[in-house]
Amino acid sequence: MNESNNKLKNKHFSYSIRQFKLDLLFGLCAVFAIITDQITKYLVINFIPVNSQVKLIPGFLYLTNIKNTGAAFGLFPSKTNIFIIISMIAVVLIIFLKISLNLNSFTYNLALGFVLGGAVGNLFDRYFIGEVTDFIYFTFFAAVFNGADSFIVVGFVILFIIIIRNFFIEKHQEVNKV
């Protein structure tokens, strides 16, 4: 199959099958993050009383039910309205970056999809409930967090690794040109 058969074309627009697959990956990662976040929060809200704990791995990992009106990891409590605005801006920025940068990388799309899904998951709770349910507690980490926070962090870690990797690849290519 030649390249012209592999693209949707018109006078002002060209869209490859590869780009479609990457856009689909981005969207599916975001939807997966949102659904996973909302289902886990639903289960915690309905099966773990507020401010109590369930031991998963004693001395290491617990599930709890904490209400959070602040940012990720319980930072800046009682600032729900500010974080609704910040979350809306973040969602728009992520979508804008995705569209404007036309990222042709599996890992970029995966990472941005996770960040978008996490942002939307917590935005949904802040906007409709007025607070976020945090429930994952590792004893070595002071804060309690949720699935959305996890997807945001994992997405940003992937993006950071990609950026560092690309930096060193470019540096290596510059050295080899000399």
**Active-site residue list:** 134, 149
Cα–Cα dist 144/142, whole Å: 7
* Displacement of CA 140 from its chain's centroid (Å): 23
Tokens, residue 33: 């993050």
For residues 33 and 117, what is the distance between their CA atoms, to the nearest angstrom? 5
Inter-residue contact 98 to 27 (CB < 8 Å): no
Instruction: Tell me the C-alpha distance between 132 and 73, whole Å.
Output: 10
